[in-house]
Chain A
Amino acid sequence: GAVVSQHPSRVICKSGTSVKIECRSLDFQATTMFWYRQFPKQSLMLMATSNEGSKATYEQGVEKDKFLINHASLTLSTLTVTSAHPEDSSFYICSAIRQDEQYFGPGTRLTVT
């Protein structure tokens, strides 16, 4: 099946710094990727849709200037959390579409201290 990877799997950063999370489709090209956020013991909430070669589409309530998304190639989308704060600590999961099905990455645990 299709494989989606994320890097890093875990990251700890200090408040006020920025952190970049990568999402890669390893064996297929994905023009569309999604970024989700999952708080402890809660469901996944879609943050944004990442489109290769164009601007990301953000869901209502998600700050586009804080969560920068870049989809520069057909196999890579990045999410940068800028000026991170402790409330940004969460589990971030990406997914990529292949043949009408979403394949999810393993997630990145972000902890902001």
Chain B
Amino acid sequence: AQSVTQLGSHVSVSEGALVLLRCNYSSSVPPYLFWYVQYPNQGLQLLLKYTSAATLVKGINGFEAEFKKSETSFHLTKPSAHMSDAAEYFCAVTLNTDKLIFGTGTRLQVFP
């Protein structure tokens, strides 16, 4: 069975600082991996996804993530945080396009 673990339920950074949100996955076969962002009382918006092509995936809003099979990780990064990045971020895994298994989420706070 697949699963994802997001280390750190809360991450706080200063505006302009590096953002690093951690995600480790467990899967018996190469998975598809996703990062979603959720703003308060809204649905989820896809930031980026890994589908076995390039290991470094670039997404929207300046975010990117690197698939590292040896570390079973898919950490999300952004070089410079913006106030508008404050939101909840979810890592998700699936073996196909259907059942997404979500992590517990990481709330990102950005301080001026």
Contact = CB atoms under 8 A, between A and B. Distances in A.
Contacts of B100: 34, 44, 46, 102
Interface residues on chain A, size class = 20 to 34
A13 to B, nearest CB: 18
B17 interface: no
Given A42-B104, A42-B105, A43-B104, A106 B99 contact: no
A44 B99 contact: no
Q: Is the interface of B mostly helix, strand, loop or mixed?
A: loop
Interface in B30-80: 36, 41-46, 49
A43 B105 contact: yes
Interface of A: 4, 6, 32, 34, 41-46, 49, 91, 93, 95, 97, 100-102, 104-107, 109
13 contacts: A6-B43, A34-B99, A42-B104, A42-B105, A43-B102, A44-B90, A45-B102, A46-B100, A49-B98, A93-B43, A101-B97, A102-B97, A107-B42
